[in-house]
């Protein structure tokens, strides 16, 4: 069983920060009232442990195992799993499955795979048409505290859960302790999602993106994904491999779930992503494999981290 324990505390310029571990990664908590840090840390630790026990398959007692073992039958789930799964399915639909929260298992159900249909329509004696399969993210059924997941579909909720935790933890800390809050779930420099809530500190929140710092407005979130993060995702033989167009993708949105899904969509659909991101009001910064930087939407001004 994974433990969640604080391992670093810092206080600088009236911003107090503490770091813990959970959900298989690091979690950083920053508040604008240093006196509130111990209570904020306890609040985030409890909530992170609750989320961890819900979706992290590395923990034998995690609730997600009950869904796996149900074998396509209805499984009773708690409110937290229902909330995370609802968010995962929503973003899967929004990104055409790019968030990878619902994928095919290693054992397919051929009724739902692309298949060929032979007809006698058209000028030639016989033509072949490819039938479109039912998307994986349309097949789980959720409602009234029950989840039905077909046997050939597997839920991968850890990425969505990390974004969910960042959003909810920042909101809970800001509301309960009347301070500004910033919560980062993931590595400090790559593969992370950051959410803010409440009043910002003097000068605003500045979050590292590569070697730069960007100002993150209150109530907004940032997600950074690297090629290494994408390659480390669980994959079945039926999952397409994304083209290695980018080394790093960073996105800013109104919430962490949207930012994370937008970053995943940029990797999965690099040609379509710019128009989709602009339509969704998401700003992005991509770095390709040659180190070239491209900004999409209203990306905030940056300054070097050494100047902070």
Question: Residues 115-119: what's their mean pLDDT?
Answer: 55
Max intra-chain CA distance, the chain: 80
Residue 275 CA, chain-centre distance (Å), reads: 20
Confidence band for 30, pLDDT divided at 50, 70 and 90: very high
Mean pLDDT computed over every residue of the chain: 86
pLDDT reported for residue 127? 53
Helix, strand, coil abundance in the chain, percent, nearest 5: 30, 30, 40
pLDDT tens, 162-181? Answer: 999 999 999 999 999 999 99
What local confidence, expressed as pLDDT, does residue 124 receive? 58
The partner residues of 30 in beta bridges, in order of sequence, read 17, 182
Which residues are bridge partners to 103 per DSSP? 154
Q: How confident is the model at residue 235 (pLDDT cuts 50, 70, 90)?
A: confident
State the pLDDT at residue 223: 97
H or E segment to which residue 262 belongs: helix 256-268
The DSSP element (H or E) to which 49 belongs, if any, is: helix 37-55
- Cα radius of gyration rounded to whole Å, the chain: 21
Q: Find the range with the poorest average confidence among 211-215, 225-229, 233-237, 293-297.
A: 233-237
183, 28 contact by CB (below 8 A): yes
Which of 130-134, 184-188, 220-224, 234-238 has the highest average model confidence (pLDDT)?
220-224
* Per-residue pLDDT reduced to its tens digit, 189-228: 668 999 999 999 998 999 999 888 999 998 999 999 999 8
3-state SS, 1-17, equals: CCCCCCCEEEEECCEEE
Cα–Cα distance measured from residue 27 to residue 4, given in angstroms and rounded to the nearest whole number: 9
Nearest to 202 by CA among 178, 226, 180: 180
Listed in sequence order, the residues at least 6 apart from 209 whose beta carbon sits closer than 8 Å to its beta carbon are 222, 224, 250, 285, 302
**pLDDT at 7 exceeding the cut of 90:** no
Instruction: Tell which wins on pLDDT, 126 or 20.
Output: 20
pLDDT value of position 278: 92
pLDDT in tens, 269-290: 898 889 999 999 999 999 999 9
Got the DSSP string for 152-183?
TEEE--HHHHHHHHHHHHHHHHHHHHTS-EEE
134/238: higher pLDDT: 134
CB 90, CB 160: distance < 8 Å? no
User: Could you tell me which residues come within 8 angstroms of residue 51 by beta carbon, excluding any fewer than 6 positions away?
Assistant: 22, 23, 80, 84, 161, 164, 165
């Amino acid at each position: 069983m994974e433990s969640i324990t604080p391992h670093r505390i810092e206080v600088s310029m009236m911003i107090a920060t503490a770091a813990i571990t959970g959900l298989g990664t690091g979690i950083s908590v920053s508040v604008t009232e240093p006196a509130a840090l111990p209570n904020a840390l306890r609040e985030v630790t409890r909530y992170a442990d609750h989320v961890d026990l819900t979706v992290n398959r590395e923990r034998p007692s995690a609730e997600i195992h009950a869904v796996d073992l149900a074998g396509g039958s209805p499984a009773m789930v708690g409110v937290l799993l229902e909330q995370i799964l609802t968010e995962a399915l929503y973003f899967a639909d929004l990104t055409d499955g790019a968030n990878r929260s619902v994928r095919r298992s290693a054992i397919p159900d051929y009724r739902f795979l692309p298949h060929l249909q032979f007809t006698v329509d058209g000028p030639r004696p016989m033509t072949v048409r490819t039938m479109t399969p039912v998307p994986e993210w349309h097949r789980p059924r959720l409602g009234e505290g029950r989840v039905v997941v077909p046997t050939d579909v597997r839920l991968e909720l850890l990425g969505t859960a990390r974004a969910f935790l960042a959003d909810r933890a920042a909101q809970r800390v800001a509301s309960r302790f009347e301070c500004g809050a910033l919560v980062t779930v993931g590595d400090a420099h790559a593969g992370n999602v950051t959410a803010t809530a409440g009043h910002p500190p003097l000068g605003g929140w500045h979050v590292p993106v590569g070697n730069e710092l960007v100002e993150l407005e209150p109530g907004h979130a940032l997600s950074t994904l690297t090629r290494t993060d994408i390659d480390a995702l669980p994959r079945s033989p039926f999952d397409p491999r994304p083209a290695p167009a980018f080394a790093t993708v960073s996105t800013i949105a109104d919430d962490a779930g949207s930012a994370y899904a937008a970053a995943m969509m940029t990797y999965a659909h690099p040609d379509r992503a710019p128009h989709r991101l602009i339509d969704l009001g998401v700003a992005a910064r991509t770095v390709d494999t040659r180190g070239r930087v491209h900004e999409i939407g209203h990306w905030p001004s940056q300054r070097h981290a050494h100047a902070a």
